[in-house]
Protein backbone atom coordinates (compact mmCIF):
# COMPACT_ATOMS: atom_id res chain seq x y z
CA UNK A 1 0.00 0.00 0.00
CA UNK A 2 1.21 3.46 -0.82
CA UNK A 3 -0.20 6.54 0.82
CA UNK A 4 -0.16 9.66 -1.30
CA UNK A 5 -0.81 12.83 0.71
CA UNK A 6 -2.74 15.50 -1.16
CA UNK A 7 -1.47 18.99 -1.76
CA UNK A 8 -3.80 21.17 0.28
CA UNK A 9 -2.29 22.30 3.54
CA UNK A 10 -5.40 22.22 5.66
CA UNK A 11 -6.05 18.53 5.58
CA UNK A 12 -4.47 15.44 4.16
CA UNK A 13 -6.44 13.20 1.87
CA UNK A 14 -5.53 9.60 1.46
CA UNK A 15 -5.46 7.51 -1.66
CA UNK A 16 -4.86 3.85 -1.07
CA UNK A 17 -3.42 1.84 -3.94
CA UNK A 18 -3.39 -1.91 -3.63
CA UNK A 19 -2.77 -4.85 -5.86
CA UNK A 20 -4.81 -7.97 -5.30
CA UNK A 21 -4.73 -11.36 -6.91
CA UNK A 22 -7.56 -12.20 -9.27
CA UNK A 23 -8.55 -15.22 -7.15
CA UNK A 24 -9.38 -13.09 -4.09
CA UNK A 25 -10.61 -9.95 -5.89
CA UNK A 26 -14.29 -10.65 -5.44
CA UNK A 27 -13.77 -11.45 -1.74
CA UNK A 28 -11.99 -8.11 -1.32
CA UNK A 29 -14.93 -6.23 -2.83
CA UNK A 30 -17.36 -8.21 -0.65
CA UNK A 31 -15.33 -7.36 2.43
CA UNK A 32 -15.16 -3.69 1.40
CA UNK A 33 -18.94 -3.65 1.04
CA UNK A 34 -19.19 -4.92 4.62
CA UNK A 35 -16.93 -2.12 5.93
CA UNK A 36 -18.91 0.54 4.16
CA UNK A 37 -20.87 0.19 0.94
CA UNK A 38 -18.37 1.75 -1.49
CA UNK A 39 -19.03 4.10 -4.38
CA UNK A 40 -17.45 2.68 -7.51
CA UNK A 41 -16.21 5.70 -9.42
CA UNK A 42 -14.91 3.87 -12.47
CA UNK A 43 -12.66 1.03 -13.58
CA UNK A 44 -9.66 1.97 -15.64
CA UNK A 45 -7.47 -0.39 -17.59
CA UNK A 46 -3.92 -0.64 -18.88
CA UNK A 47 -2.47 -2.96 -21.45
CA UNK A 48 0.95 -3.66 -19.91
CA UNK A 49 2.21 -6.10 -22.54
CA UNK A 50 1.96 -9.52 -20.91
CA UNK A 51 -0.90 -8.62 -18.62
CA UNK A 52 -3.97 -6.44 -18.66
CA UNK A 53 -4.28 -4.40 -15.52
CA UNK A 54 -7.71 -3.34 -14.31
CA UNK A 55 -7.92 -0.69 -11.59
CA UNK A 56 -11.17 -0.34 -9.68
CA UNK A 57 -11.44 3.14 -8.17
CA UNK A 58 -13.64 2.96 -5.08
CA UNK A 59 -14.36 5.73 -2.62
CA UNK A 60 -15.58 5.24 0.94
CA UNK A 61 -16.49 7.50 3.87
CA UNK A 62 -17.64 10.22 1.46
CA UNK A 63 -20.16 11.53 3.97
CA UNK A 64 -17.36 12.68 6.32
CA UNK A 65 -16.03 16.19 5.99
CA UNK A 66 -12.62 15.89 4.27
CA UNK A 67 -12.56 12.26 5.29
CA UNK A 68 -13.13 10.51 1.99
CA UNK A 69 -10.68 7.75 1.13
CA UNK A 70 -10.05 6.59 -2.41
CA UNK A 71 -9.26 2.91 -2.67
CA UNK A 72 -7.72 1.89 -5.95
CA UNK A 73 -7.68 -1.88 -6.31
CA UNK A 74 -5.64 -3.18 -9.18
CA UNK A 75 -5.89 -6.69 -10.60
CA UNK A 76 -3.52 -8.20 -13.16
CA UNK A 77 -5.10 -10.47 -15.74
CA UNK A 78 -2.89 -12.66 -17.96
CA UNK A 79 -3.38 -11.88 -21.63
CA UNK A 80 -3.78 -15.55 -22.47
CA UNK A 81 -6.91 -15.69 -20.32
CA UNK A 82 -8.16 -12.23 -19.37
CA UNK A 83 -11.04 -13.17 -17.12
CA UNK A 84 -12.46 -11.55 -14.03
CA UNK A 85 -15.63 -12.01 -12.04
CA UNK A 86 -18.39 -9.45 -12.35
CA UNK A 87 -19.14 -7.41 -9.24
CA UNK A 88 -22.57 -6.35 -10.50
CA UNK A 89 -24.26 -8.57 -7.91
CA UNK A 90 -22.61 -6.52 -5.14
CA UNK A 91 -22.63 -3.12 -6.85
CA UNK A 92 -25.24 -2.97 -9.65
CA UNK A 93 -23.81 0.38 -10.77
CA UNK A 94 -20.67 -1.38 -12.01
CA UNK A 95 -22.49 -2.52 -15.15
CA UNK A 96 -21.58 0.44 -17.38
CA UNK A 97 -17.89 0.36 -16.55
CA UNK A 98 -17.68 -3.45 -16.82
CA UNK A 99 -19.28 -3.42 -20.24
CA UNK A 100 -16.80 -0.75 -21.26
CA UNK A 101 -13.85 -2.91 -20.17
CA UNK A 102 -15.20 -5.88 -22.13
CA UNK A 103 -15.36 -3.99 -25.41
CA UNK A 104 -12.29 -1.77 -24.98
CA UNK A 105 -9.80 -4.24 -23.52
CA UNK A 106 -11.25 -7.60 -24.45
CA UNK A 107 -11.59 -8.70 -20.85
CA UNK A 108 -14.08 -11.48 -20.26
CA UNK A 109 -16.25 -10.55 -17.32
CA UNK A 110 -17.82 -13.69 -15.89
CA UNK A 111 -21.43 -13.43 -14.77
CA UNK A 112 -22.13 -9.96 -16.17
CA UNK A 113 -25.90 -9.48 -16.52
CA UNK A 114 -25.65 -7.69 -19.87
CA UNK A 115 -22.75 -8.38 -22.23
CA UNK A 116 -23.79 -6.29 -25.24
CA UNK A 117 -21.57 -3.52 -26.56
CA UNK A 118 -22.15 -0.11 -25.03
CA UNK A 119 -19.82 2.49 -26.55
CA UNK A 120 -18.10 0.76 -29.46
CA UNK A 121 -20.15 0.91 -32.67
CA UNK A 122 -21.39 -2.32 -34.16
CA UNK A 123 -19.35 -1.96 -37.37
CA UNK A 124 -16.02 -2.42 -35.55
CA UNK A 125 -14.88 -6.05 -35.91
CA UNK A 126 -15.53 -8.32 -32.93
CA UNK A 127 -11.87 -9.09 -32.14
CA UNK A 128 -10.64 -5.48 -32.15
CA UNK A 129 -10.23 -3.84 -28.78
CA UNK A 130 -9.39 -0.12 -29.01
CA UNK A 131 -7.24 0.15 -25.87
CA UNK A 132 -5.06 -2.87 -26.63
CA UNK A 133 -1.47 -2.26 -27.69
CA UNK A 134 -0.93 -5.62 -29.40
CA UNK A 135 -2.22 -7.25 -32.59
CA UNK A 136 -5.79 -6.93 -31.30
CA UNK A 137 -5.43 -3.15 -31.14
CA UNK A 138 -7.13 -0.74 -33.52
CA UNK A 139 -4.07 -0.16 -35.76
CA UNK A 140 -5.57 -2.15 -38.66
CA UNK A 141 -8.49 0.22 -38.80
CA UNK A 142 -6.47 3.40 -39.16
CA UNK A 143 -6.80 5.33 -42.37
CA UNK A 144 -4.13 7.88 -43.02
CA UNK A 145 -5.48 10.83 -44.91
CA UNK A 146 -2.54 10.92 -47.36
CA UNK A 147 -3.16 7.28 -48.29
CA UNK A 148 -6.85 7.61 -49.05
CA UNK A 149 -7.54 7.60 -52.79
CA UNK A 150 -10.08 10.02 -54.08
Residues engaged in binding another protein (CB under 8 A): 4, 6-13, 15, 17, 37, 39-42, 44-46, 55, 57, 61-68, 70, 72, 91-97, 116-121, 130-131, 138
Cβ nearer to another protein, comparing 31 with 61: 61
Q: How far is the CB of 128 from another protein (least distance, A)?
A: 12
Cβ nearer to another protein, comparing 5 with 23: 5
Q: How far is the CB of 114 from another protein (least distance, A)?
A: 9
Cβ nearer to another protein, comparing 31 with 133: 133
Q: How far is the CB of 27 from another protein (least distance, A)?
A: 20
* Beta pairing, strands 83-85 & 69-78: unpaired
Tally of CB atoms within 10 A around 125: 10
Q: How far is the CB of 48 from another protein (least distance, A)?
A: 9
Q: Are 56 and 73 in contact (CB under 8 A)?
A: yes
Cβ nearer to another protein, comparing 127 with 149: 127
Cβ nearer to another protein, comparing 23 with 122: 122
CA 47/CA 105 separation, integer angstroms: 8
Q: Which residues contact 104 (CB under 8 A, 6 or more apart)?
A: 45, 119, 120, 129, 130, 131
Q: Which spans in 17-143 are helix H? A: 22-35, 95-105
Q: Which spans in the chain are helix H? A: 22-35, 95-105
Q: How far is the CB of 148 from another protein (least distance, A)?
A: 18
Amino acid sequence: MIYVPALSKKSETFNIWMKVDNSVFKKVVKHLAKLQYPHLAVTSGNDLGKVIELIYHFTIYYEDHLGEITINISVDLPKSKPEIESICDIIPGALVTEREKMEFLGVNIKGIPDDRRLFVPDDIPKDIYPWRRDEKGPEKLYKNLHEVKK
